[in-house]
Structure 1
Amino acid sequence: MPCASSHTCCRTSPPAPAEPRTSYLQMAPQRLYTLSVMLVWSCVVASSSSHIPVAPPRDLQITDPGLLGPLDIEWKPPPDVQTSSECTVKYKFEYRNTGDTDWKVIFTRRLKFRVGFDLSRTAEVKVQTLLEGRCTNGVEVQSDWISATFQVPLQGKLESQVQNFHCIYHDWEYLKCTWQPGLLAPRGAHYGLYYWYEGLDQAAQCDHYIQDHGMNVGCTLRNLSQAEYQDLNICVNGSAAATPLRPLYSTLRLHNLAKPSPPRQLVVSVSAAEELLVAWSPPGGQTPPQCLEYEVEVAEDLEEAKAAWAPVLTQMETACTIPRANQSHVSCVRVRGRTNIFCADQGFWSEWTQECFSVSRKEDKQLFILIPVILSLSSSLIIFMLIGQCKKRSSEGKPSEVSVRC
């Protein structure tokens, strides 16, 4: 076809079909994933490059100083560790007895500790290094753990150990511990009790044993005021001619074993409103009065053997007022004491006051008043009759010794 103008005419071929294009929305998840991976990798690389690896401590050792429970644990710093204004080295120390669920944790800069264990079980300890400061960009770096265990050589079978070991701190004055021979302990076994608390240079032996048929079955310890509110470690071991006996280890807290004497001078009176006014004095001994609480109970018809003691209140004061539920019945009050929650986690109740106070019925009171009067009148009448008989016999000439017998 000729050109209609001077311009060069170009024949255009039909356009090729367009290739499919991936939309931006379809590419976004893939690009985000790639970007996230790159960011995480860069953070890891940067973090690893800024952290200084730290080695664990060395030469972890456990030593038994012979104090019936406390063990000495010590270690040495990791090699090539340096402390400066830019870096701080600490240690995380954990310990427990085998069988315990939780570890006890201590953060420290020290290299030696003395901590208490139950020596009848294996002691477990572990420690790691903690590095922190400008040298680690403020991030705490932890080393691997090093660990160690310790077990006192326990001789004899478990059934040879003393049984029913029980201790009471009476009146905050003396500790009385008792036990029974082990099931496999032979006749004639000899037992000894040893104890230690912070302040003693070494473990001491009981000097006042309780015996049964020549065998030590208990011990009384006095002068333990310095051991209050701290661990008192005790070991009861035994020896026999042919049978090794397993020792018993125990850690006590005296304030949780305290048992006071009963309250003193219990006084009960009746008010004009027919209420019971109860007052008493704290027990004797060394029990701190501010460490005591009291329980008060009351009963009705105690003399008829049908009474049931009912708790009224628990308080720290030494006096209270109790309304009488039934004024026609005989009432009786008793009181006992124990260490309160401000001085102990637990404790033993004292014995009840040995005598309770009874308030009689009104008609009983009237009867008690009439009985002496009736007895007095009866006696006077009998004496008068006897004197009359004596005079009559005398007038009839009876022997004089009869009048003497009268």
Structure 2
Amino acid sequence: MLFLLFVWLSHFIQCFLSLAVDPPENLTILDPGHLGSLQIHWSPPASLLNMKDCHKRFQLEYFNTYEDQWTIIRTSKRTYSAQFDLGKQVQVRVYTLLKGSCTNGSEVKSARYTELIKEPTSTGLVGTAVQDFVCVFHRMEYVECKWERDPKQPANSLPTLYFWHNELEQTEECPKYIISNGIRSGCTFTGKSLPDFTDINFCVNGSSPEGPMKPSFITLQIQNHVKPAATQILQLQARPDTQLELSWESPAGKVPKNCLEWEVEHSEEGPDGNHLSNVIILSSLSLLRTMETLLSISDKSRICVRVRSKMHKYCANEGFWSDWSVWTCYPGNLCVYFEKGFANQSLQQQNCSIWNRTTLFHKPSPVTLYAAAGGLPSQQRPMRKQPEQVPTQHHCLFLLKPK
């Protein structure tokens, strides 16, 4: 029995060894002028053109310089479009895949591949490329893309921004440049000029008295660069049941309310002038279970609170925190605090720099957080599911009862 199995395996291996699968031919890379969106073409090997009893596919591999890793695509087509940074080397390889009666039903990949490498076009003066290119989708209403000039960039250089996406037939230039100290430092896009959930390609090049600037290529999707507006309406007041209620309204703009997560920052100072500080970062699952020790202050303590928001991971891969709201204090109406490097200003108390932080998520009803020493009601649990209708006002309850 073992001998028969050995003979069968030997015959099976010989069949595979005798089937030499050639790699594809005529591999080409075409640049239609879309700032890095390249078209890759290839042909089946001539040895397989007349083969009818096997299905031919191809394995395309290209090095993704944006993710610093190889991307692998399997397709029966003979063309593919991929995004590349034209300022770096373009490296593409393709294999032949064969499956059918000619391979006894198994898929066989060619041992060799066809490869094509294109070096970046060495245009532009060294040290003239722009730096720190960043785009921000403010309130989901307009996009600002800004950059910094290289210290080696010649004076009187004139940067130029071009962009392209799938809805455009050809590249277009920045519709409105941002001018800083007489120099182009960014571009503003308003209205529907940039679509979301699609790759947008940017190129910043330009001219200088000493020659052309070295181009910079960037690809991004604007829904991952949203910055909500700062919250304008924030209230902090005591309740008859010895709890301190914090409420605020969602910020202005077009950011979906169910796509926001919140961060609450509070500063507490006791009657002796000592600051009480405890930092708590909460996820959506631990939000209500870890709040019982967040705030417990004496009757003479003072607390200042502010909030900010951000697109959460269910709506975008990343994003920017909004600016902080102004400080609201109890007792007292307002305490405004600016980060290090700016002036401190307040109506009744200046030092609001000691803070605690809590991240909040939307719930189907207004967010209510209890900070009771006895713990939380067992029936209160955070919900991960996003609501269909989200209230525009949000609440936090903090215990004012002394320790």
**TM over 0.5: same fold?**
yes
1:49-128 matches, cutoff 5 A: 49=15, 51-82=18-49, 86-97=53-64, 102-128=69-95
Question: What does residue 235 of structure 2 align with?
Answer: 267
Aligned sequence identity (%) = 32
**Which residue identity does 1:179 align to in structure 2?**
W
Matched, 1:347 2:339: no
User: 2: distance between equivalents of 1:203 and 1:77?
Assistant: 33
User: 1: distance between equivalents of 2:270 and 2:148?
Assistant: 38
Task: Work out the number of aligned pairs and report it.
Answer: 323
Report the CA distance shift for 1:177/1:200 in structure 2 as closer, same or farther (over 3 A). same
Match of 2:13 among 47, 51, 70: 47
Question: What does residue 139 of structure 2 align with?
Answer: 171
Question: What does residue 6 of structure 1 align with?
Answer: none
Question: What does residue 299 of structure 2 align with?
Answer: 327
Give the Å deviation of 1:290: 0.9
Matched, 1:187 2:155: yes
CA contact (8 A) 1:239 1:245 kept: yes
Give the Å deviation of 1:130: 0.8
Report the CA distance shift for 1:119/1:337 in structure 2 as closer, same or farther (over 3 A). same
1:296-315 matches, cutoff 5 A: 296-301=264-269, 307=275
User: 1: distance between equivalents of 2:193 and 2:246?
Assistant: 33
CA contact (8 A) 1:275 1:324 kept: no
Report the TM-score when normalising by structure 2.
0.72
**Which residue identity does 1:300 align to in structure 2?**
E
**Which residue identity does 1:47 align to in structure 2?**
I
User: 1: distance between equivalents of 2:188 and 2:221?
Assistant: 16
What SS does the aligned partner of 2:318 have?
coil
1:148-159 matches, cutoff 5 A: 148-159=116-127
What SS does the aligned partner of 2:48 have?
coil
User: 2: distance between equivalents of 1:350 and 1:98?
Assistant: 30
Higher helix content, 1 or 2: 1
CA contact (8 A) 1:71 1:115 kept: yes
**Which residue identity does 1:71 align to in structure 2?**
L
Give the Å deviation of 1:68: 1.1
Give the Å deviation of 1:348: 1.2
> CA-to-partner distance for each residue in 1:182-204, whole Å, 9 max, x for gaps?
23221111111111122111111
Give the Å deviation of 1:302: 9.2
What SS does the aligned partner of 1:229 have?
coil
Match of 1:135 among 102, 115, 132: 102
Report the CA distance shift for 1:219/1:115 in structure 2 as closer, same or farther (over 3 A). same
> CA-to-partner distance for each residue in 1:140-168, whole Å, 9 max, x for gaps?
22222001022341313442111222222
Give the Å deviation of 1:113: 0.6
User: 1: distance between equivalents of 2:315 and 2:155?
Assistant: 42
In structure 1, list runs of 5 or more residues that go unmatched: 1-34, 362-406
Give the Å deviation of 1:40: 6.2
Question: What does residue 280 of structure 1 align with?
Answer: 248
Q: Which has the higher contact order (CA 8 A, sep 6+)?
A: 2
What SS does the aligned partner of 2:300 have?
coil
User: 1: distance between equivalents of 2:66 and 2:253?
Assistant: 40
CA contact (8 A) 2:90 2:120 kept: no
Match of 2:176 among 190, 208, 217: 208
Larger Rg: 1
User: 2: distance between equivalents of 1:157 and 1:182?
Assistant: 11
CA contact (8 A) 2:310 2:319 kept: yes
CA contact (8 A) 1:302 1:332 kept: no
User: 2: distance between equivalents of 1:173 and 1:303?
Assistant: 45
In structure 2, list runs of 5 or more residues that go unmatched: 285-290, 334-403
1:196-235 matches, cutoff 5 A: 196-224=164-192, 227-235=195-203
Report the CA distance shift for 1:221/1:48 in structure 2 as closer, same or farther (over 3 A). same
User: 2: distance between equivalents of 1:66 and 1:217?
Assistant: 24
CA contact (8 A) 2:230 2:251 kept: yes
> CA-to-partner distance for each residue in 1:200-243, whole Å, 9 max, x for gaps?
11111111111123321111112347621222211111111323
CA contact (8 A) 1:91 1:109 kept: yes
Report the CA distance shift for 1:307/1:157 in structure 2 as closer, same or farther (over 3 A). farther
Report the CA distance shift for 1:287/1:225 in structure 2 as closer, same or farther (over 3 A). farther
User: 2: distance between equivalents of 1:274 and 1:170?
Assistant: 39
User: 2: distance between equivalents of 1:304 and 1:174?
Assistant: 48
Question: What does residue 10 of structure 1 align with?
Answer: none
Give the Å deviation of 1:303: 11
What SS does the aligned partner of 1:239 have?
strand
Report the CA distance shift for 1:223/1:310 in structure 2 as closer, same or farther (over 3 A). farther
Question: What does residue 337 of structure 1 align with?
Answer: 309
